[in-house]
Amino acid sequence: MTKVMIIDDDDAICAILKDVLEIEGYDVSYSLNGEDGIKKYMDELPSVLLLDLRLPGIDGLQVLKEIISFDPDAIVIMITGYG
């Protein structure tokens, strides 16, 4: 089963994405901030990461840099609710 991880500070968005992706057959986990998300990513090594641009603490771009330095082949899709 393909593992998808979401890092987004909006719990409702995470829950909706998780529900939709699980219906499609994906194994989904999520984290609500960048620091925890990086740790969880390193533990789980998901196939795909959905990453919010704006996060509390370290922002999505810094999380992206950390993830790519750890896993240069990471597949990351950046998402945001802002224009």
Supply the CATH number for residue 43's domain.
Answer: 3.40.50.2300
Q: What is the domain range of residue 34?
A: 3-79
Give 67: exposed, middle or buried? Use CB within 10 Å, 0-12, 13-18, 19+. Answer: buried
Task: Please give the model's pTM, rounded to 2 decimal places.
Answer: 0.94
Note whether 41 and 16 are within 8 A (CB). no
Alpha-carbon span 17 to 6, nearest angstrom? 8
Number of domains in the chain: 1
State pLDDT tens for residues 1-56. Answer: 899 999 999 999 999 999 999 999 999 999 999 999 999 999 999 999 999 999 99
